[in-house]
Amino acid sequence: ADKPLLRRAGSSTLSTTSLVSYDDDSEEWEECTSFERTPTEEIPAKESLTSSTSLVCEPDNAVSKTVLLQLKGMTEEFQKNGLPWKGHECRSLIAGGSGILYCLPVFFCSNNHLEQCAWILQAFFSVMADYVHIHHDSYFHGMDRIYATYNVLATIFRASLALNCFIVMTTPIPITCFVLANRAKNQLDLQVWKFCHGLWHLTGSVLAALVIYLLYSCPEDLVPTPLNVFCKPP
C-alpha cells in the first residue's frame, strides 16, 4: 500500500478513494489513503524527510566523499583495507606494486639521508598496505593513509614556499586519480580501481620526484632551462 501523503485539498490532480476534507479556517490537512501519483505531485512525507536528511548528511560530490573516507580510514577504520572486494582478487602489481615508485625522490636528494629515508618509508608503507596486506585488515592500511596524507601536505607546503606556483598547480593531477579510484570502489569496478590507483602512485611519485629535484637543484641565478621555469626567482 502507498504511504500516507500530506497535501492540501484542491491542489494538483489526485485520484483517491478516501479523503478528509480541507477547511481553510481550521487549517486542517487531509490524508489521502489511496491515490495515483502524477509527475507534479508532492513526495510522501516520510520519503521527503528521508531524502532531505540524506542530502544534508551525505556529501554530494566525489571529492567530499573521498576526504571523509580518508579521515575515516585514519581513525575508526584504521585497520580496514577499505575495499568492497574479498580475497586476493584485490592484489595487483599495478595498484599495489606501483607503490615502490615513491622511491624515485631518493635519487634527487642524495645529500640528505633523512629525506631519503622518509621517501623509502613512504614506498614501504604503500607496498605493504596496497599489495602485501591488501586482501585483509592490517595496521599498515592506517599507517599508509596517515603517512601519505602527511607527505602530500608537506610536499605541497614546501613547493609553495620555495618554488613557482606553477608546480603547485599540478597537484590536482594525482589527486584526481585518487578520487577516481575511490569512485571506482563505490561503483564496484575492480579493474578501473586498479588502473586509477596505479595512476595515483605513478603521478604522485613523479610529481614528488620533480619537487624534490627542484628543491635541491634550483640555482640562485636562474639559468633558462625547461625545468627552471618552476623555480622561484631569487
What integer pLDDT is reported at residue 106 of this predicted model? 97
- pLDDT of 102 above 80: yes
Of the candidates 15, 22, 5, the residue with the CA atom closest to the CA atom of residue 38: 15
Of the candidates 98, 75, 91, 102, the residue with the CA atom closest to the CA atom of residue 133: 91
Query: If pLDDT is split at 50, 70 and 90, which confidence band does 65 have?
Result: confident
Query: If pLDDT is split at 50, 70 and 90, which confidence band does 54 have?
Result: very low
DSSP 94-120: TTTGGGGGGGGGGGG-TT-HHHHHHHH
Whole-prediction pTM: 0.70
- pLDDT of 21 above 70: no
Mean of per-residue pLDDT scores for the chain = 79
Query: If pLDDT is split at 50, 70 and 90, which confidence band does 12 have?
Result: very low
Residues 6+ apart with CB under 8 A from 151: 118, 122, 208
- As a whole number of angstroms, the longest Cα–Cα distance in the chain is 86
Average pLDDT of the segment spanning 149-164: 93
